[in-house]
Structure 1
Amino acid sequence: MIKNRTILVTGGTGSWGYELVRQLLDFEPREIRIFSRNESNQFTMKQEFDNNPKLHFIIGDVKEKDALLEACQGVDYIFHLAALKHVPVCEDQPIEALKTNVIGTQNVIDAAISCNVHSVVNISTDKASNPSNFYGLSKAMAERLIIHANTLNTKTRFVCIRGGNVLGTNGSVIHVFKKQIKEKGKIGITDLNMTRFFLTIEEAIKLVFKATFESIGGEIFVMKMPSCKIIDLAQVLIDSSDVENVDVDILGIRPGEKLHELLLSEYESKTTITFDDEYFVILPTSQSEELKEHYSKYKPVNLLNYNSSKELMSKDEIKEILQKGRFI
């Protein structure tokens, strides 16, 4: 599907974008356009990919529709990764989060339709499910815009992919904990009972391709992800370091933070099917005949919700996934 196609990746110089581009090259695309506003990251990424002639770097911001329209000329697929992602930043500057995460997403939709793009894949977050902070709220709105776009009279197909935390991405708790252990000899934990979903970036991107190739349009693909207690994750990192007597400070939950993350809410579970061992699929309340027919053979989910407090990984399992991701 992607061979000899032109692909645009918004926010392409971030951790997700870097791995996405790395794996996209294996599909032999004609061109990958990496659209971001970070000149320094673009320069570094260009060097790290040995000036690959298939990569075309474009300075631009999803808040500017004209720049997107120009970048989308002749594009077949868009992977929309650009977003303000840090919860405290979005809480402190909600207008900026709104402009990038919501209006920016609508700009991507408009540009894709105008340029007859085949498919748009929007990368979302567990924080969009029953959101408790502005980041989650803005991403939930972006999801709704993407799903609504699929009902428009256009050949462009739109799909969302929702996942939890990815290990080692920019600002990841992994990097924070390792830095605190090395430099301070102590780590800060918001709550001893806090849990989160985690997956390696390589596995997450493989799941992105799976949903891209198997989607019809109008769905939200929800990744099935392992989860763990944050304190257990921290303890594995402490045990794997050469630092002794590391203290743990209990900081308390920050505004907008949840004790347990939610990938699938009680409300959403009513229109969700079990796709396979790797995905749930949330179907829109108003479904096309194509969607109804395609998913008629799948069974509805047999759960109230899907949150990170269930089926927690042991410390040995956490250690294994950290070793797999080359973090310890």
Structure 2
Amino acid sequence: MPRTVLWRPLSFLLDCAVAAIAFLAAYGIVFRIEFVPSVPGIAEKTLMFTAICAVSFILFATHRGSWRFVSLPEMMNLGKATVLAVVVYTAGAFLVSRGSNVPRSVLILTSFLMFAGLAGPRIMYRLAVEGGFLRRGIRKHAAGTRYVLILGYTSEADAFIRATRRSPVNQFDVVGILDDRITSQSMQGVRVYGRLDEIDAVVARLKRQRVHVSELVVAESRPDRQRLIEIVDRATAAGLRTTRIPDQMEMSHVGPTGVLEPRPIEIRELLGRTEIVTDVSSVADLIRGKVVLVTGAGGSIGSELVRQIAQFDPSRLVLTDNSEHNTYLLDTEIRDSFPHLDIVTQLVSVRDALRLDAVFATHRPQIVFHAAALKHVPIVEDNPIEGIKTNVIGTRNAADAALKHGTAIFVMISTDKAVNPTNIMGASKRAAEAYCQAIDVTSATTRFKTVRFGNVLGSNGSVVPRFQEQILTGGPVTVTHPQIVRYFMTIPEAVRLVLHATAKTLDTGPERGTITVLDMGKPVRILDLAERMIQLAGLRPGIDIEISFIGPRQGEKLYEELFDPSELKDSHLDDGYVIALPRIIDGTLMKRTLNNLQKAAEAEDAGRVIDLLRHIVPEYQPAPPSQQARLDDANIDRALAPVRPAE
């Protein structure tokens, strides 16, 4: 039998017994104990009062509350039940016997004694369970306990302290609170020691008391990025790791003991700009009821595209990728998350034009998101033919299949490295952009849209996972150059903007061949990123973890650009994107050059491949790292300036 089934009637009987004892004790105080049995009808009076109390307890459901979690609302219910029972008994006594042998002092004393008898055991039980009797002096240093300071005298801090005390396995011991406004109070018996800027002194003081604090838990309500940066800086200087209490809806952070565990502060929270929030209504209209195909679905961007597209109820979602492992993982995830969705998974390489054509012919996608690409600059630089086969020829194959089979919208995912490229990867993506622009101008049925953005935090092979691995192994963290900067977005943010910008720009009119460029605010210095990540691990840059500079790699620029000077045209920054003016290459010339490019790639003629790539992308100028490293301060300032369209 469940424990609660037994506990409720037992709690009810205990409350009734308390009511009877309080009634008799009140008579004993007024008439003295030895004279209580001689009070006329005392047994009947006690029985009647207890019966009235039982009804009152049922009305206010006092037996349903948990003694372990008793709180102010339960105390108020007990008070209401007590007052109602005494008032009803008093009224009944005067109606029946004009209040004979029921002094008013007995009724007043009964009220106080009964409430004390009901509330007292509950409070004592909760204190016993939460260890409240021990926290005033004795501190148990159990193995694995995390001794933490809380930042913020808030309701979140109060809830966290309560939750840690109720946990049967106490992983946290809150030893103090910091707050910039309140410096002389306590919460749940935990002292407020001072302000955030006094954290060094507080940690030293607790250390002298043999309390070794290891963590600062942020409980402030919605701190902005600047505040988080200040908190992380000060906590790291004091030798503390920084975490924060998650939103109460983030159930993934509820630990095995039932405590809402503090989560690490993520690097995206310290990037210095507000995450762009998009309107999904236009995206829903774009996707709902359509057959949607995603190439490169197993990659970082492709898989997030699939996750978000699935939410908008397409009639069929076709996942294509050439990686069996990645495709299997994504297929399993989407089928589990969206069991009602019609999902088709196909192993396809965009290099295989015949296979790609067969997939398009079978499923007739109305919308295609082309995310398949080779994107790692050093690898593509060492394997230029492979980069051309996937990024240029693969894009042509996918675009031609879309055109042949009546696809309404073809969206190509591009990169800021396509602007004034200094490496094969960027040049190949610019060539792919140029092809999509050229056929968009001439196509009567299919719209070809290109969306360009920068680095994506946490994507496969990006700098963030690399830094995380280096930090875990004790460093050093390797940065190519102290002044190298990049634009960053989170994966979900980038994909939301891709979908949003696509839906919006399709309605802007008949203009063809434009490129949609996502607004990413200011670029971030990679050195700053490395330092923040070391701090978020609770370590000190240059002391606990060294940062070493290894020099720019072949084809790598110190800063990226989002536009060629001739492209800039129209701003939609409220919607999170900018429209770049088309730079159209003659379609016939483009097709002839691509045919020759494919033949050179199949012949493994790397020199010829690069020469033909330069015909398509004349601005492609490979620069050795030694030249790139000599950028002057003016260029660095330009790289750090906000990206905004020219007037």
Between the aligned partners of 2:443 and 2:296, the Cα distance in structure 1 is: 27
Q: Equivalent of 1:38, from 313, 319, 323? A: 323
- 2:572 maps to 275
- The question of 1:236 aligning with 2:521 is answered no
Using the TM superposition, name which of 133-142 and 149-158 deviates more.
Answer: 149-158
- 2:640 maps to 309
- The question of 1:76 aligning with 2:366 is answered yes
- CA offset digits 1:246-288 (Å, max 9, x no partner): 001110011100101111122323xx211233111012256xx
Contact 1:268 1:282 in 2 (8 A): yes
What is the CA distance between 1:311 and its match in structure 2? 4.1
Q: Equivalent of 2:348, from 55, 60, 72? A: 60
One-letter code aligned to 1:251: I
- 1:293 maps to none
- CA offset digits 1:24-61 (Å, max 9, x no partner): 01211011111110001111112222454422110010
Between the aligned partners of 1:47 and 1:307, the Cα distance in structure 2 is: 45
**TM-score (norm: length of structure 2):** 0.44
Q: Secondary structure at the match of 2:516?
A: strand
Question: What are the equivalent positions in structure 2 for 1:111-260 lying under 5 Å apart?
Answer: 111-216=401-506, 217-226=512-521, 227-243=523-539, 245-260=544-559
- 2:296 maps to 11
Between the aligned partners of 1:14 and 1:161, the Cα distance in structure 2 is: 17
Q: Equivalent of 2:582, from 255, 260, 284? A: 284
Contact 1:228 1:308 in 2 (8 A): no
Between the aligned partners of 1:307 and 1:179, the Cα distance in structure 2 is: 31
Rate the CA distance shift 1:138–1:196 in 2: closer, same or farther, 3 A. same
Contact 2:367 2:409 in 1 (8 A): yes
- 2:224 maps to none
Between the aligned partners of 2:443 and 2:377, the Cα distance in structure 1 is: 35
What is the CA distance between 1:211 and its match in structure 2? 1.7
- CA offset digits 1:186-232 (Å, max 9, x no partner): 20010111110001111111111112112244210011103211011
Q: Which structure has the highest helix share of the two?
A: 2
What is the CA distance between 1:105 and its match in structure 2? 0.8
Between the aligned partners of 1:131 and 1:268, the Cα distance in structure 2 is: 15
Q: Which structure has the highest strand share of the two?
A: 1
One-letter code aligned to 1:309: L
Q: Secondary structure at the match of 1:111?
A: helix
Contact 2:320 2:327 in 1 (8 A): no
Between the aligned partners of 1:252 and 1:115, the Cα distance in structure 2 is: 48
**Who wins on radius of gyration, i.e. which is larger?**
2
- CA offset digits 1:139-171 (Å, max 9, x no partner): 000000000011224310101000001111001
What is the CA distance between 1:72 and its match in structure 2? 1.5
Q: Secondary structure at the match of 1:171?
A: coil
- CA offset digits 1:107-131 (Å, max 9, x no partner): 1111011100001000000000110
Q: Percent identity?
A: 38
Higher RCO, 1 vs 2 (CA within 8 Å, ≥6 residues apart) = 1
What is the CA distance between 1:71 and its match in structure 2? 1.6
Unaligned runs of 5+ in 2: 1-285, 507-511, 585-636
- 2:146 maps to none
Unaligned runs of 5+ in 1: 287-305, 313-328
Q: Equivalent of 1:90, from 380, 384, 387? A: 380
One-letter code aligned to 2:316: E
Between the aligned partners of 1:32 and 1:307, the Cα distance in structure 2 is: 42
Between the aligned partners of 1:37 and 1:207, the Cα distance in structure 2 is: 26
- 1:297 maps to none
**Misfit runs of 4+, over 3 Å:** 50-53
Between the aligned partners of 2:501 and 2:385, the Cα distance in structure 1 is: 31
**TM-score (norm: length of structure 1):** 0.85
Using the TM superposition, name which of 89-98 and 209-218 deviates more.
Answer: 209-218
Between the aligned partners of 1:49 and 1:105, the Cα distance in structure 2 is: 25
What is the CA distance between 1:307 and its match in structure 2? 6.7
What is the CA distance between 1:2 and its match in structure 2? 1.4
One-letter code aligned to 1:142: A
One-letter code aligned to 1:41: N
Contact 2:437 2:514 in 1 (8 A): yes
Contact 1:185 1:243 in 2 (8 A): no
- 2:391 maps to 101
Contact 1:222 1:279 in 2 (8 A): yes
Between the aligned partners of 1:12 and 1:104, the Cα distance in structure 2 is: 14
One-letter code aligned to 1:218: G
Contact 1:146 1:159 in 2 (8 A): yes
Contact 2:291 2:365 in 1 (8 A): yes
- 2:274 maps to none
Contact 2:370 2:412 in 1 (8 A): yes
Between the aligned partners of 1:250 and 1:30, the Cα distance in structure 2 is: 50
Between the aligned partners of 2:638 and 2:419, the Cα distance in structure 1 is: 10
One-letter code aligned to 2:578: F
